[in-house]
Amino acid sequence: MRKWISFPKQEGAHSRQAHADFPEQALYEREAGRSGFFGPATHFHHQHAPTGWSDWQGPLRPRAFDFNQLKDLDQENPWLVSNLLENAHCKFRLWHCKSKMNYLVRNADGDDLLFVHEGSGHVFCDYGHIKLVKGDYFVIPRSTSWRIEPEEPMQLLMIEATHGAYQLPEKGLVGNHAIFDPAVLDTPAIDDAFKAQYSEEQTQTFVKRHQQVSVITYPFNPLDAVGWHGDLAPVRLNWRDIRPLMSHRYHLPPSAHTTFVAERFVVCTFVPRPIESDPGALKVPFYHNNDDYDEVLFYHEGDFFSRDNIDRGMVTFHPAGFTHGPHPKAFKAGLEHKKKFTDEVAVMLDTRDALEASDAAMSVENPDYVFSWKEK
């Protein structure tokens, strides 16, 4: 058994509570914490912005990627697209599916989480048929066979829980129906569309295991189930069904927006919500250290109020080891309380283990992002 060293103390000028009513001589609060936002933490009050660096040298740095510029995403098979960010427990890739898959794919390495950035289409899998539209998450359990028939070209964010499984977060005091009611989770159906694709035609299944692909050929379509029962199945969740936790007096940490939990990483969803209205409450994300987690944000749509020059389809990557937070313009707007409501949808990936960026990702990096916190 072990426990954190804990001895809450106060020193100098400080606020009584985190993220509210800062001392007059210090505009800037910085949180240094462990275990993401779940461990012990200290809040510093600074005279200068913790992101006010004037130069930066070396491989550790905040990065921004314009994945809209990536090539070779229109692969016939999702296993042919490169991982953009990865570690031993997680793979992050983008895939553009533009035409009907006349074959099946199966991931024997872990669960897949699909997020529909653009387009719509029909998924056929071992469990039946389901339609996906823009803004849908779709969790595919490990070793499920599936294929897609797009209604319109689809851009899919894919996050693999390598060697692991996706689960729902523990919701604690707010209860099981908070954030989203499990009743909104939809599963595939053995419906007429599914029955219509029964076939005695030869079908290939591309199976990924240990990042290598094998091909299994059947003299029939193996998606031939006539029914099933149990509590393991793919599930669909649209971000519009997420009802975020809010506090008008306290800026909640990103962990309050956790959507899915896997082994050694979490996926969070930021959706539109009211901005804190209490005069003393912080109204933008607080400056914080990445001490234990790498943070990745995929920007889906809207006005990304804490970031400058970030557009939909772009990704920011903040590896562990430095302080980050809102850009100067956003911080000033927060002080003036100009905005009353956020208008953004973003998918956040927080990983306990360091992520490596691929050559493909680095080819579309904005090298000047590290200096985007400079005062204009």
pLDDT beyond 80 at 309? no
Calculate the CA dihedral of residues 333, 338, 342, 343 and round it to 10 degrees: -100
337 compared with 60, residue with greater pLDDT: 60
pLDDT for the residue numbered 306: 60
pLDDT for the residue numbered 8: 81
263 compared with 283, residue with greater pLDDT: 263
pLDDT digits (tens, 9 = 90+) for 160-201: 999 999 999 999 899 999 999 999 999 999 999 999 999 999
And the tokens for 168? 């729902």
pLDDT beyond 90 at 269? yes
Among 10-24, 66-80, 352-366, which is the least confidently predicted range? 10-24
Contact (CB, 8 A) for 137 and 240: no
pLDDT for the residue numbered 177: 94
pLDDT for the residue numbered 279: 87
And the tokens for 199? 């076939």
- Separation in Å, CA 343 to CA 22, 315, 374: 26, 17, 24
pLDDT for the residue numbered 330: 80
Give the pLDDT band of residue 36 (cuts 50, 70, 90). confident
300 is in an annotated binding site: no
Would you kindly state where each structural domain of the chain is located, as residue ranges? Answer: 28-65+244-370, 72-239
pLDDT for the residue numbered 21: 78
Q: What CATH topology corresponds to 28-65+244-370? A: Jelly Rolls (2.60.120)
* Residue 366 amino acid letter: N
Q: Which CATH architecture has domain 72-239?
A: Sandwich (2.60)
Cα–Cα distance for residue pair 84/355, rounded to 1 Å: 10
* Residue 300 amino acid letter: H
Coil, strand, or helix at residue 291? coil
pLDDT beyond 70 at 305? no
Q: How many CB atoms lie within 10 A of CB 119?
A: 19
pLDDT for the residue numbered 62: 95
Calculate the CA dihedral of residues 371, 274, 272, 354 and round it to 10 degrees: 50
pLDDT for the residue numbered 15: 83
19 is in an annotated binding site: no
Coil, strand, or helix at residue 349? strand
Q: Which residues are catalytic?
A: 251
And the tokens for 61? 């740095």
Q: Is there a shared CATH topology between the 28-65+244-370 domain and the 72-239 domain?
A: yes
pLDDT for the residue numbered 376: 67
Give the pLDDT band of residue 39 (cuts 50, 70, 90). confident
pLDDT for the residue numbered 213: 97
pLDDT beyond 90 at 287? no
User: What residue spans of the chain are helical by DSSP H?
Assistant: 192-196, 328-336, 359-362
324 is in an annotated binding site: yes
